[in-house]
Structure formats: C-alpha cells, structure tokens
A and B are shown apart, each in its own frame.
Chain A
Amino acid sequence: MSVMVSRSQRAERLIVGVETAYGSSDFQVDERLRVEEVWQRSDKAVSKATIAVRLDDTFDSEEARRRYHPDRRIVVMTEDPDPACRAFLFEGYSPVQVSRWDGRIGRDGEWYVFEAEHVFERLSRASESLVYGRYVRNGVIEDGLQSDPDAYADKSVLMTALPCTFNPDGVPNRAQVPLTVSTPNDGSRFIHLFSWDDSSAAKWTYATVLRYLVWFYRIKEGPVFEGNVFEVTDALATGSAIAGDPLSEALAREPVSLTCEATNLVEALSLLASAAGIHITAETSNSGGRPVTTLRVWSSRSGSLRRLYLARGDCTSQGDLWYDASEHSVSEVLSANNTYRGEVAWDHRGIVNYPFVMGDVKRYEMTMPLCPGWEPTTNLDNVDEVDRAAAKALSLTPTQVKALGDAAATNDWYSKYHSQGSDFADYADVARLWVLNEDGAFSGTTYNRNAPFDDYQPFDFSTVADATATGSDAWMRRARRLLNTLSISKDGRSLGVWAEVSFDSGATWQPISSKVRVLSDRVGIYFDYDNPTEITPVDLDSEDQNMWYAIVDQTYRVRVTGLIESDERVMGTFLPGYLKSPTLQINAMMVRRPKSFRYETRSHTTNVLVSDEAFDGVERDDTEAIATLARQLAEINQDREVRVLPMIPWIETGYAIGDRIAEVRGRHLRFATTMGSQTEYPAVIERRFVLQDSRYETVLTLGVTEVPVGAM
C-alpha cells in the first residue's frame, strides 16, 4: 500500500504470486496476472478473488490453463520491493478458470479469468474437515484414564452413531473431563469432548464447542492455522470468562441444540458464529515475506472504534468554503478525506417496540369429579332402595361366571355387561365410561339419574380452579384432553392420569390404575375390565362389594387428577415507551415459541396430589422468561438498522474486518444505534479491493451483527 503524498502519484498495484509447484510454498510474482477484485469475507462467506490473465500471441488460453493449474496456490499482495513489507490480501486456489471470447464487432476479444477461492474453502472439502459423529472416550480409554491417566489424557475415538449436536434440547452432553493435548510449542491445552446426552454430563459453551471443532476438524498442517481460537478461549475452557468483554461473554454462553452433524468445518463454524453472535474470519497475513492464513474469532461489539473522513464541502452562506483545500497540504487534505464515494442507509423498518412472544397453552393440574357416561340403565341406575338387592343379584361376579361355565353365556346380564357377552357392544359404556362433560355433550335430558348425577351440566372449572386460572372467564365449553399429571412419585416416576374411585359416596378414595383407559378426545376414563364387578374396594371380595353394587347403591364415585389445558397461552410483551426509540409509531411483532415457554402448574386448583407428601411436582412457569425475551426483542430491535458502504479511492488496509466505525467525520454522519443501554456501531464485515477505472479502490461493507436472542 502506497500512501498518497502528492496530488499525482503512480497507481498502486496488486501483484499476484503463483506457487512454483503444488505445495512448494514458494511463490513467484507473475506479471501476466492482473487482480480485478479481492473480496474478503467472514463466516460462511468465504473470501474470493477475480484475476485476469494477459493473453497474447505467445500465450493463449490453453497455455494459461496449463500454467495456472488449480492445485497451485496463488497469493495477492500489495507491491513493495521488500517482500516482508507487502500486505497479503488473499491466499487461495483457482478452481474456476474461464476462457471467454467474443467476435462481435467492437467488443471482440479473448479473455482468461480466474475465480479464485480462499484457502479457507479447503476446510469445506477436505475429508478431515467433514463433521459427523462425536469424538468421545470409549470404555478402554475410560479404564485407561483410571489406570494410566497420562497415557490416556489425549485419547478419544470418533463414534458415528450419535450426532454432532451440542446440548440437544438443552440436555448436556459434554464430558466432564476434557482431553489434555499437546500444543506445537510443547505446551498443553484442554479440549472438551462429547459424552452421551445425559443430565450428569456438563454443558457445552460456545468456547468449548469452538475448540472442539477447530481441534478435531482443522487440518493440522494447514493451509489454515488456528490463529486466536485457543488464545481467546483458554480461560473460558476452564470456566472463567472475562467480564465486560463481549467476545468472552458471547463464547461463555451455552448453545442449545447446535447441530453440526453432516457438515464441514466451514459450515460448522458458521453455524456456531451465527448462534453465538460472533464472527470467524480466515485472514492472510505476511509472516517473514510468506503468506500465512489464520482463523480470527471476533465480536462486532468489541472491535477498534474507527472513523471515516470526508470534510464538509461547498460554501457557507457568506460564500466561504467550509473546507479550503488550498490552505492545507496534500497530506492534510487526505487525512481529512478518505471516503470519496459512499452510501449510508438508515432502515427503520426493523424497529420493534412492542413485541409479543407467544408461549404454550397454560395447563393446570386439577382433581375433577366424573359422572356416568352412559344413559340411565335399568337395574343399575335409579334403583329404589328396596329393589337394590334384587338388582345386584342379577349381576354375575367373576366367581359366579366361573361356576356357571358355558351357561353364563345365556345369562342376560352376562350377555350385556360382560366383555365376552354377545350383546356387549351395545352396552359397552354401561358402568365403565365416566366423563367430565366439560363441553356439555351429555345433556341432562338424556343422562340425568339418581343423585348426585341428577343435574347434568357443562362442567364449571371454577368449581375446581381459583380466579387465577379462570378469572377471565375464558374457559370455553369444549372437549379437552386429560394429560398426565405434573405430580410424580418420590422416586421420580410418572403417575399418568391419577384416577380414584370411592365406594362410599366419596368418604374414602382409592386409586385405580390398572385397566383404566384415559379417553383421548375428552376428559374421562373407561374401566376396561371384563366384568364390571371386578373393581372392588381394597381388601374386599367382589361378592361383598364391587363397582356394580356401589352404582346400584348410588355410592360409587370416580374422580381423576390430571393436567388440563386452559384456553390461555403464556404470553410475553414489552410495552412501548420504556426504551429509547427513534419512532413514535407502534411497531409490533409476534414471535411464536410454544416449545420454549410453558406454564404447567399444580397451583390455583383443587388437587388431591399437592397435599400428599408421597408426591412431588415438576412444574414450570416461564412467565418471567417469556417477559425477558420480549424485553430482549424490544432492546435488540429498538433502533434502526444502519448499513454503510464507504469507498476509499486507494488500497486501504487500515480498516480491518471487525473494526467498528463510529462516523464519517467532517460530515457529521454518525452511525451509533442503541441496544438496551448500550451504544452499538456498525462493524466492517466485508472488505473489497476492486480495480475500478484502472485504479484500485477499497469498498467496505459495514453492518450490525444480528444479536441472537438470549445473548444479552
């Protein structure tokens, strides 16, 4: 790069060095090659270059194809007699070579052009860089670690059965003990590796994921070296982060379901960068006159704060020049001006000052009384007290069925109410189906019978839930599903739907779980016994008491405890006006995250399990978390987006990728935006050196990196 010191100065050149042979690392400057463009990018966007070959009578396209074999590396650098002083802008290969000709009059010509891609792209094609499976310790290594820790400290194996997914659904799957590996300079470093998905494992952080990926999938011998990857994550690998450093804070966070399975290292690093809100750039630099490409991890929130320059032009109202170039030396003029073209866009469309986050439907665990789900039946329902003994006598207990043998089949009761009976299909619900009638499908006209089932109405949830759950009267009359309880046994086992029966009008209850089928389309259960007299009180024989007898006696009751979904969702909002925003308009946005935010509680309802010390509960209330997300969304999107495209009329390497740009000084064009309480600046995310009108110019692309939700 040559700094301009006069108004007329020889043009800068970018020169191209071509490797003398595959892998020789010896580059010779080739005067036939002219750099049209070098485009330096980050993350998944791999840097590239366009290079033209000068053809003449002695050097045609075929000769060019022979000489510039795609296996030979090429480097683009600034021109300087001392190789150690050249700035290397690009190192790559030329896998795409295009010969083009045109015979149209006035446009005739013949061209040969490379479309070169950066050496970083090798990490998307090399077999060593394909990411699949997990590096873990097998049993031999685990045993070895116990018997000979030093020998096995760096041992791991690739297992392909389990996918390369970090913290799937938030479940940790990182081995507690990291590998201890040797570094090229005889040091050592920790590299974490996978275990299986289990709560006893440790959680990955983005730092440990980054180290894992770069250690196992980067080709050790190059052409892309590790750069600052381990340097910026060494402390994080041992669990300490640098407070106040945005890069360190971003890398210290934990990914959730970061899936890198069946990718390559470039894609995997890109996924990581996107999820963590950081950037990874493969940069080529000069190392003793030779190009060296290394990885650089950076945060767009911690780069050097820089300025662009363009003095105010034209005249004041008094006719004086705002900036009189004649009073300044050339160096001064060029110090005050470096952006001869440019574009700044302030895009207000993305502002969100009233976000809504929609979580899952709220669910409440409650205990509900059920009522018969069959139409009143003779000799079972509405039986007068004097007739009850006779009615009971019509039924057959299992013992009686067994005694009758085949003759039982001819019994009227057996044929209707025993599952083996010939008419059972028509009477299958009798005594067995018990429902909540939450939608009112069972009308009193048809189903009213003896007390307490003499007034069938749609179930009123306010009888079992307090105003918190039903305060808005939002519970509509609709069929609902009865889900497993949140309550679990002390040993952690699910209770399923907790059903209880009573033979004494609800004075005492006993749980019943076997042969109880929970209805899938409404709240209710079905007793799936062969003989309805099989259900008996504890310690009593069916000859003495059973469900059939108790129904006849009008003392049988059924209740269930389960999870019922309400008609409300857990929602998070953040009201406008609390954050500084450049607009007075209300810009709302809806984000739907039902899997992330749930509300499942045992509170606010009648619930027989809550007070029972035999049970625990696994409740979840994401109300606060969803409100936090809403606030974060408001903060992330509270300000306009700033996009800047400045162009500098020479080769300018002073602005590095990752540098933040505060303003165009002289024009009072400021780029700061606000996120929460922090001030943000657009960072250089791409850099292009373009041959324009026979002169190289530098085009910077500035932008604000999208901050992942939860990264604040």
Chain B
Amino acid sequence: MSQLSKPDREQLRAKYPDVFDRPAASRLATPAMIVAAFAVFIFGLVDLDFSPAKLFAGLNQLGWITLMMIPPDPGASLPAYLSALGETLSIALLGTTIAAVVALPFSLLAARNVIPSGWLRFPVRRAFDSIRGVDTLIWALVWINVVGLGPFAGVLAIALSDFGAFGKLFSEAIEAADRKQVEGIRASGGNALHEIRFGLMPQVLPVIAGQVLYFIESNTRSATIIGIVGAGGIGLQLAEQIRVLEWQKVSFLILMILVAVAAIDWISGKLRFAIIGQRAVA
C-alpha cells in the first residue's frame, strides 16, 4: 500500500472536470427540487386547514373510536352481513367477467399489429383512457341514476371501469405477441379471422386469463366500497354502521372484508399459478 503514490489533486481535477467542477445548475438541481417539493407540501398543509390543535383533537377522537371498536361484534345481523359479503363477491366476479368479455373484441381494435391504421385505433384508445380516468365510484353513481339503487348498478360500474382497464391491458398483450405465428397462419392460407384465432389467441389467452384473475381479486376490494354510494354489497352495511356509530359492528365488518380479500388473494394466486406458471405471476 505504501507504494501507492499520493494522488495529484490538480492533475485529477484537470482530467475529470465534470466531477470536480460541476456547474452550479446541476449541483443545485436536487436540493432545489427537494425544497420546492417541501414548500408545496407546507403550502398544502396550510391551505387544507391543518392545525396541530385540530390534528390532536382528531387523534384523540380516533383513539376513542378505536377503543370502542374492541371487541368486534356483529350483534344479531351476522346473516345479513354474510349475504352482503356474498353479494360483494358476486359483484366483483360478474363485473370483471362482463368487462373481460366485452373488452376482448375492442382491444383487438386498439392493437397496432391487428389494426395498423391509426384512424380507428386512436379513438378507441382515447375512449379506454377516458373510461379509466373516471373512478369506479363515479361510474357507480352514474349507473345508480340509470338503473336505480342496488347491486346491479355495482356490477355495471365495475364492468364499465374494468372495460377501460382491460382494453388497454389486452391490447398491450396482443401487441407483445409474437408476429411469426401469425405470419405462419397467413402463409398457409388463413384469412384475417384465422390469424387472430390461431395465431394471436393461443399466445394471448394465458396472459389475459392471469390479468382477469388479478382483476377479480382487486375488484373484491373495489366492490366493497361501491356500496358506500348505494350500489349494493358489504360497503352499504359498512357505511350505514359508521353513520350510526356502531363501532363494534364496523370493526367486525372491516375484519370480514380483510378475511374475504385475503381468501380471494390466496385462491386467485393459486389459480394464476396453475394457468400461467410461476414466471408470469407478477
């Protein structure tokens, strides 16, 4: 180690000017960004009426609420809650299935390798984006206006907002498909429908099945909340119990939701594993 010559600072400085003499703009960029982000944060706290007094009063209140939640107790309405949970699972399953079935043909229209011309593809994509830009809860409110209160509005709300998501995901899966198999079908004399059925679908379907299962899982979560605006399921019960301050029932309902979501996660994880194998489970 002693043979190592002492580094010549001047020489290094001349050799690597980028390291030693970074321009002020690049040195200040990161701190400036952090300061700006923090400033907006502080402005937000002030603008949104955050005050320590309010925060502590609220936390105190929250502490009491938490204490009142223990122990979770459904009272006499356990059967009603169980059927509401069943309704929620039904909403998730039906909504996702309808969305997948309807979205598949439309996603073909949005895939570059099926419809090369932008005339059709572009508006279809923007339609998917617009539908996705609106939250499921908003769609639930709209559907309630159309079909009235109840789980059917929830099914349609989930179906519509998933239609936007599936359209995008499916068309991306189709675009990622291997071109060679389609060319093989065409070379052997197949028409455009044959190309889609025998060239694209066998590659795309496992990916799509995995995505649909994942959405059924995540829609169990969405379906729990659309009840809050009146679209059926366990969210309706939850919102009602919160409004009448029955905290033991609230905590029981939340526990039910957690258990149901965990169970669905587990089942769909197994199924996805069986359909597409470990590497694509992500």
Our verdict on whether A and B bind, yes or no, reads no
Q: Name A's B-contacting residues (CB within 8 A).
A: none
Q: Which residue numbers of B lie inside 8 Å of A, CB to CB?
A: none
